[in-house]
Every structure is written in C-alpha cells, then in structure tokens.
C-alpha cells in the first residue's frame, strides 16, 4: 500500500515538474534573439534577430574551402554564429574589421577604429583579400537603409555595430 502511494506521489510530482519546465521554457522567438545559424532553407545562414524581432541575414555560407580541415558550411555557420552571439552578449562586438591572427587572414572584432583584432569571427582563405571579403561578407548591409557606418582607415574597413546591436558608445 505504501509503495502504491509513493509511486502516485512521485508520478504526480514528475508531471507537475514537467508542466512547470514546459511553461517556463522560452518561446522560439525568445530563444532566437541575437545570432544563430539558420538552416531552414537547407543553406546555412548566420542570422541576427534585431531588437524589433526581425531576422537579418548576415553571412550566407557558400564556400566549402575549409571542408578538408573539418569545417563544412554548416559547422562554420554554427561556430561563427555562436562566436558572434557570445561577443554580442559580452558587449565585445563594437566594430568588425579584418586583420591577421596566427598568421592567417581573418575577420575579427575591434574595440575602436584603428584598433587591433581582438576576437576571431572567421578565418579567410589564404589568397582572399580581407577588405574585399569584409565588404562582400555582410549580406545584411547590402542595400539596407540604416546599416551601421562603414569607415576605412588606411584602406582597412571598420564596421561600427554599436548602435545596431544596442551597445553603448562609451
């Protein structure tokens, strides 16, 4: 008799706990705030959901150049989207620029115009022109009114993301 009562109590508790966990889970829209890798069109795209809840495609992943190193389009999309979201949450995504890290051409973050590469966003092909790559990379900038300012210093572009991402300009 005691075993049946204990089983009923545990079962009731488990159901209540499961219902509470389900109620407290964020909606899909809430969980998609910031950067994520969207694969809904069977082509990976790094997407940023802006403060109005509107998804903006940032990087369309088309190259398989790094596949032999274990980084296919999907893996790169997931890795880069995760990095961007981490930098955004840590308020480290102020400017995007190009530079070198570990002897490789990269797209990276900077704290200011003329600043050095701080955080890796993605590695470029060895023969790829970094300035041209950055200019072409950010799909969401193309033809968009209100796109973040794009400055050049000594031919190196710096894309100011602070206002767009809601980061103060301290």
Cα–Cα distance between 98 and 83 in angstroms, integer? 16
Concatenate the DSSP letters of all residues of the chain into one string. Answer: -HHHHHHHHHHHHHHHHHHHHHHHSPPHHHHT-EEEEE-TTSS-EEEEE-TTS-EEEEEE----TTGGGT--HHHHHHHHHHHHHHHHHTT--SEEEEEEETTEEEEEEESSTTPPP-SEEEEPPTTS-HHHHHHHH-GGGTT-TTPPPEEEETTEEEEE-HHHHT----
In a domain, 3, yes or no: no
- Residue range(s) defining the domain that contains residue 62: 28-165
Answer with the residue of higher pLDDT: 159 or 28: 159
* Neighbour-count burial of 82, counting CB atoms closer than 10 A to its CB (0-12 exposed, 13-18 middle, 19+ buried): middle
pTM for this one? 0.74
Write the pLDDT tens digit of every residue in 78-134: 999 999 999 999 999 999 999 999 999 999 999 999 999 999 999 999 988 888 788
* Domains contained in the chain, number: 1
| 11 — pLDDT class (breaks 50, 70, 90) | very low
Write the pLDDT tens digit of every residue in 25-71: 333 444 567 999 999 988 999 999 988 898 988 888 988 899 888 89
| 153 — pLDDT class (breaks 50, 70, 90) | low
Task: Pick the range with the lowest mean pLDDT from 126-130, 139-143, 166-170.
Answer: 139-143
In a domain, 9, yes or no: no
State the residue for tokens 């109590």: 9
Tokens of 156: 């190196």
In a domain, 21, yes or no: no
In a domain, 44, yes or no: yes
What pLDDT sits at residue 155?
A: 72
Cα–Cα distance between 83 and 45 in angstroms, integer? 14
């Amino acid at each position: 008799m005691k075993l049946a009562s204990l089983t009923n109590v545990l079962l009731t508790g488990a159901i209540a706990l499961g219902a509470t966990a389900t109620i407290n889970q964020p909606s899909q829209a809430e969980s998609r705030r910031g950067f994520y890798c969207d694969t809904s069109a069977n082509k990976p795209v790094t997407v940023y959901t802006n403060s109005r809840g509107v998804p903006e495609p940032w990087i369309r992943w088309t190259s398989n150049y790094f596949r032999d190193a274990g980084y296919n389009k999907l893996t790169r999309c997931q890795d880069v989207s995760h990095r961007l979201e981490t930098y955004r949450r840590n308020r480290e995504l102020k400017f995007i620029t190009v530079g070198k890290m570990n002897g490789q051409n990269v797209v990276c973050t900077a704290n200011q115009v003329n600043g050095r590469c701080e955080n890796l966003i993605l590695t470029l092909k060895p023969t790829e022109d970094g300035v041209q790559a950055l200019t072409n990379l950010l799909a969401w900038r193309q033809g968009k009114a209100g796109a973040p300012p794009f400055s050049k210093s000594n031919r190196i572009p710096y894309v100011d993301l602070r206002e767009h991402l809601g980061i103060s300009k301290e």
